[in-house]
A and B are shown apart, each in its own frame.
Chain A
Amino acid sequence: MDSLRYKVAIVGAAETTDLGVVPDMSAQQLAIDAAINAMADCGIGKDRIDGIASTVSPAHLAHYMGIVPRWVDNTSVGGTSFLIQVRHAAAAIASGLCETALVTMGQSGRSRVGEGAGGSGGGATGGRRDGSYPGQFESIYGPVGPASLFGMGVLRYMKETGTTHEQLASVPVAQRRWSSRVPRAMMRDLITVDDVLDSRMICYPFHLFECCLVTDGGGALILTSAERAADFPTKPVYILGTGESVETPIVSQMYDLTTSAAFRASSRDAFAEARISHSDVDHLMVYDAFAHLPIYGLEDLGFVGRGEAGAYIEEGNTSPGGKLPMNTNGGGLSYTHTGMYGMFAMQESVRQVRGEAAHQVPDVQVSFCQGVGGMFMAAASLIFTNQPP
């Protein structure tokens, strides 16, 4: 397989102008707003865009913007879809299918303007008859959305590894230390482990502060070849490594509920393609819909050994000043979470690699971004760098 290493760079990156509660914009409007901001970020007009990827229909976006693209992608496997679309866009650019690709998204997760009535993810609808596998073998037992499904394996993980409730609670504590200096973050007040454990129980073992926010917003990225990146005014963020995988649409049927097979597969490929080791990573984003995901991520990506992640976070290693800064925007737990958070994880990776993050980590050269889709249904990994080939 021909490697994507150093073939493609992100040259434009932006989030929606407003973030958090945006009651006057639909999901599509948010995706357009982000796209226009990303084009402005890198100083191009729409005529340069010849590839479009989104979980919103590319036809809707293309026609709205008056673009007739030569490449589209509509991969939709939950919140990691945008990382996968970046990988696909990079492959398309590297193989000449298009020159300049736009990956954009918007979600009215909180205000639900132009969205369906239901929340994202699996769950029950009263009296509804359902012949899907989740409908036959999960919904009948009363899950309602990701909060009641994503953590199915957490107690098992805790028993097998000795991880404590306090260590699980230390995840949002660490991330608030980051978001406390991020003006656009929805939650910025520092919190303690006791604050987390005293917050309302949502779905044991998850308290409120161990569950992600529900917000409105969007983001967009513009990619082009590493050669053409020199023509843009922005500092190129090169794609060094990529990976993607899927495991199961039914979380109860994961091969092992204490580890994500898709995390392991996608990160293994990304590290191999990038030809770097874990010690080369200066900054890490792990999609944190719930507090256990950074714990699974640290272990499944190989940054720490089995059962070590809870203590690693509790001891401050991922906090400001720690050796592996993680989720430095505050994450889905404190920054924003529109339902499909992956775009926002990438945006923070790009900001850190460019050196323009609100809570900047000193001297970031390599950022690793890990996405999850559905409830451990899908995963993708991207490794970014500012170092020229």
Chain B
Amino acid sequence: MTAEPYRKPIPVPTPETQPYWDKAREHELWIQRCLACAHIFFYPRRHCPQCLSENLEWFKASGRGTLYSYVINHRPAPGFEDEAPYAIAIVQMEEGPRMMTNIVGIENTPENLVLDMALEVTFDDVLPDVTIPKWKPAEA
């Protein structure tokens, strides 16, 4: 928690995404698996995007992944002024799906951010009721 008002965009959970955000507050990354076809996917949905089954289960992801791709944004979004230039990245989760993230714990330069480097999830408690998953270089 920062003393300043949080000026970045704030995610509003919807019924199908609520478990993801609830688990994030507990500092756990949970994603979904289809029990009909075994497909693992992200972002959270009510139906499997592969077979449209509603027979889904939530499970705790390993929190391990690799850096799939990224950009380094030099024109900050509102609330991000103090961080520019900052990376907006996509992590390849060990389980298969990819998600957007910021990379924390390392200066965001092309030299530091090498594609396919190992990452692990971390959690940023930005508001009393909102925690945002982010990723950082994996500890060796």
Interfacial residues, chain A to chain B (CB-CB below 8 A): 123-131, 133, 135-144, 147-149, 151-156, 159, 200-206, 250, 252-253, 257
Contact = CB atoms under 8 A, between A and B. Distances in A.
A203 B9 contact: no
B102 to A, nearest CB: 5
Contacts, number: 142
Contacts of A143: 73, 77, 88
B8 A124 contact: yes
A140 B132 CA distance: 8
A140 B88 contact: no
Nearest to A156: B69
A137 B100 contact: yes
B88 A142 contact: yes
B96 interface: no
Nearest to B81: A126
A252 B79 contact: no
Nearest to B101: A141
A144 B76 contact: yes
Nearest to B126: A140
B71 A138 contact: no
Nearest to B134: A141
B105 interface: no
Contacts of B8: 124, 126-127, 140, 142
A135 B130 CA distance: 14
Contacts of A206: 71
Contact of A204 (B72, B77, B100, B132): B72
Given A130-B10, A140-B132, A142-B83, 17 more contacts: A124-B78, A127-B79, A130-B9, A136-B21, A137-B11, A137-B43, A139-B9, A140-B9, A141-B89, A142-B73, A142-B79, A142-B102, A143-B88, A159-B115, A201-B72, A203-B71, A253-B98
A203 B79 contact: no
A27 B136 CA distance: 44
Nearest to B72: A204
Contact of B69 (A131, A139, A200, A257): A257
A152 B90 contact: yes
Contacts of A202: 74-75
Given A126-B8, A204-B85, A148 B75 contact: yes
A140 B102 CA distance: 9
A136 B44 CA distance: 10
A130 B12 contact: yes
B128 interface: no
A343 to B, nearest CB: 27
A159 B67 CA distance: 12
Nearest to A257: B69
Contact of A131 (B13, B70, B73, B115): B13
A250 B115 CA distance: 21
B100 A141 contact: yes
A203 B75 contact: yes
- 6 cross-chain pairs, A with B, having the tightest CB-CB distances, nearest first: A126-B78, A124-B77, A131-B12, A156-B69, A204-B72, A144-B77
A205 B71 contact: yes
B62 interface: no
B44 to A, nearest CB: 9
A205 B110 CA distance: 9
Contact of B68 (A130, A200, A257): A257
B75 A257 contact: no
B99 interface: yes
Contacts of A200: 74
Contacts of A153: 69, 90
